[in-house]
Structure 1
Amino acid sequence: MVEYTDVINTDAAWLPQIPAHWQLQKIDALFTERKTKVSDKDYAPLSVTKKGILPQLEHAAKSNDSDNRKLVKAGDFVINSRSDRKGSCGVSKLDGSVSLINLVLTPRSKLNNDYVHYLLRNYRFSEEYYRNGRGIVADLWTTRYSEMRTILLPVPPRAEQDQIVRFLDWKVSEINKLIGIRRKEIQEFNQLKNTVITKTVTTGLKREELCGTDNSYYRMIPKGWRITKTLRVLSQPLTDGPHTTPQLYEEGIPFVSAEAVSCGNGKIDFNHIRGFISQDFYEECCKKYVPKIDDIYMIKSGATTGRVSIVDTDRIFTIWSPLAVFRCNQEVMLPRFLFYALQALPYQQQVQDGWSYGTQQNIGMRVLEQLKLAYPDVTEQEKIACYLDDKCDMLDKAIQLAESKIKALQELKSTIISDVVTGKIDVRNVTIPEYEHIDDIYDDNNEDGEETEVTEIDGEEG
């Protein structure tokens, strides 16, 4: 790609050079802050996500203060001020309302809205935005308008903004098409994985005679299998983590919540923990629950309700209230068999039929304890678990390969956007061919709700 030949140095740390014919202007010269308070009864609630500004899903986690929100008009730029939501921003195409944690900026001048969208969502600006913030610890770090208003932005001539948008729309669509192919592969692998799990934990490994039952979820099971309540295969009633929100730190004891389960592909992903807690709070949590190898966690609140993971580490950590803990009575049921049985369609359908909606979908622990499981003797469970370990390992490797290709494509897309909107690449003379416009539609399970995680799930204390 062609670089600009005539560039000038700047005083902006995040933008050391720009093309000589571009301008540098402060945010407050280009935008005003919109502070109008409205109700989501009058202005539909919007979610500020890493995908941009989207209509809030009907069953997403919502603020209890629905009459105290910020007005958003089409064309406004909205950004979440908290560091733990870095990258959640965009130019809104809709009128609506957002929670007060967000900043709403209205353009003063006739900038190309799509150029603004590309510019202010690029990772270099994102880092500069949060660098200008303040806070006690990372999780409580915020950037106010008074702190961001002096950030310098590159402003090309309007005709060049338009060409930049045309170029990026084309390139981004090309990359999104490739990402879409990989995502479809992952979806197909996951569907195959779910089919294999469901078939194996409901019909077994042998071609045994199937017997009819009076259970609508397990209509046919192998001869000799049993159906029982979940509670009866556990060594203790279901429990969960604390129903209080602790102070989080940059280091300490890992505090695991829903995201670490939903991102972990059956394991705990310690790269997606809620944060770190103090030793004192950890010891308080241990009075209620201490994690143990082979414990199984199910998300019981939010968009990913029903997802599970199994503890396979002796690392010290604890969990928050969105997770329910299943601990097996191993004389009746093996943890690996239960891990797969909880993922199978008959059990997941019971979870869906049993959850309720408040501020978000959730299912109570006492409800989960009553859900039914079909199972063979422990010897057969061991064979089934080993078989599924092998089958799922092969599929997981295929999924991981596709995910690595998606990551590389996303990094390429991010680099191209950043280089173009900051003046590293000259696209003025690029001819844009005809192409199919493709948005990057992806599943980000933690982006559908409001900006705070609900801690009081169902009023239960395990």
Structure 2
Amino acid sequence: MENRTHAFFNKKIGSGVTPRGGASVYQDEGIIFLRSQNIYDQGLRIDDVSRISNEIHEKMSGSKVMKDDVLLNITGASIGRSSIFNLDEEANVNQHVCIIRPNEKVVPEYLHFLMQSEVGKLQVKLGTTGGNREGLNFEAIKKFRLPIPKRKEQYEILNSVSTKLNDLHLINSKLINQIQLLKNYRQSIISEAVTGKIDVREWETKK
């Protein structure tokens, strides 16, 4: 396995702009317009997503998002957060979100996992420029060095990671359920005590 730079395995690295007029041109229906607050490692959050007209979308043709693009936040407090675009809708991005479009050498989900890993986060940290607002530029992203095995091995790694994550989620769900049961039991005891169903005077005597 070799460490390759982003420039070696990506078709596109770029971002968009804020449309002229800013928030005043956002609308309830239309093309999804993704901003940094919509990009999370766990997936896109689009409950409150802004939308733009098809006319603006076409004017911003250079930042149209395609399915399986990896989206990376490149400014501010959320720098380094990433999502994979898996929606069956058209979308665009502003200047705070970078589109990384892998070529045929890279499985998009594998690249997304890499960007979430310690290796990916370290590359973000090393490439970040300081000042009043931290940021990543495209040249820094192109210089990211990431381990890219053959596609078959990428799928094997993905399957292994997914299995382990599913196991962790299952354990976490069981723990949450147990905590909730204990809370319910505690609340039940308190309720029975204050309504007189349990004689707490006997407890006080034993103390």
**8 Å contact from structure 2 (residues 64, 90) kept in 1:** no
Q: Which residue of 2 aligns with 1:282?
A: 57
1:252-309 per-residue CA deviation (whole Å, 9 max, x = no partner) reads 32211111113xx432111142x22122111212x21322111100100110100110
RMSD: 2.4
The structural deviation recorded for 1:400 is 7.8
Structure 2 residue 9 is matched with structure 1 residue 233: yes
**8 Å contact from structure 1 (residues 292, 314) kept in 2:** no
Q: Secondary structure at the match of 1:254?
A: strand
The structural deviation recorded for 1:398 is 6.3
Letter in 2 for 1:298: L
**8 Å contact from structure 2 (residues 6, 142) kept in 1:** yes
Q: Secondary structure at the match of 2:11?
A: coil
| CA distance 1:268–1:227, shift in 2 (3 Å) | same
Q: Which residue of 2 aligns with 1:338?
A: 111
Q: Which residue of 1 aligns with 2:31?
A: 253
Letter in 1 for 2:77: A
**8 Å contact from structure 1 (residues 259, 272) kept in 2:** no
Give the TM-score normalised by structure 1. Answer: 0.35
Distance 1:344 1:311 in 2: 18
Structure 2, unmatched stretches of 5+, are 181-207
Q: Which residue of 2 aligns with 1:309?
A: 83
The structural deviation recorded for 1:399 is 6.4
**8 Å contact from structure 2 (residues 36, 96) kept in 1:** yes
1:151-173 per-residue CA deviation (whole Å, 9 max, x = no partner) reads xxxxxxxxxxxxxxxxxxxxxxx
Give identity over the alignment, percent. Answer: 19
Distance 2:103 2:26 in 1: 34
The structural deviation recorded for 1:358 is 3.2
| CA distance 1:272–1:390, shift in 2 (3 Å) | farther
| CA distance 1:393–1:231, shift in 2 (3 Å) | farther
| CA distance 1:400–1:315, shift in 2 (3 Å) | farther
Greater percentage in helix: 2
Structure 1, unmatched stretches of 5+, are 1-224, 407-462
| CA distance 1:359–1:391, shift in 2 (3 Å) | same
1:221-250 per-residue CA deviation (whole Å, 9 max, x = no partner) reads xxxx101111101123x0112244352123
Distance 1:399 1:272 in 2: 28
Q: Secondary structure at the match of 2:112?
A: helix
Alignment of 1:142-181 (within 5 A): none
Distance 1:320 1:396 in 2: 33
Letter in 1 for 2:79: T
**8 Å contact from structure 2 (residues 71, 100) kept in 1:** yes
Structure number with higher relative contact order (C-alpha < 8 Å, ≥ 6 residues apart): 2
Count of residues in correspondence between the two structures: 174
Q: Secondary structure at the match of 2:146?
A: strand
Q: Which residue of 2 aligns with 1:190?
A: none
Q: Which residue of 2 aligns with 1:266?
A: 42
1:99-128 per-residue CA deviation (whole Å, 9 max, x = no partner) reads xxxxxxxxxxxxxxxxxxxxxxxxxxxxxx
Give the TM-score normalised by structure 2. Answer: 0.75
Q: Secondary structure at the match of 2:3?
A: strand
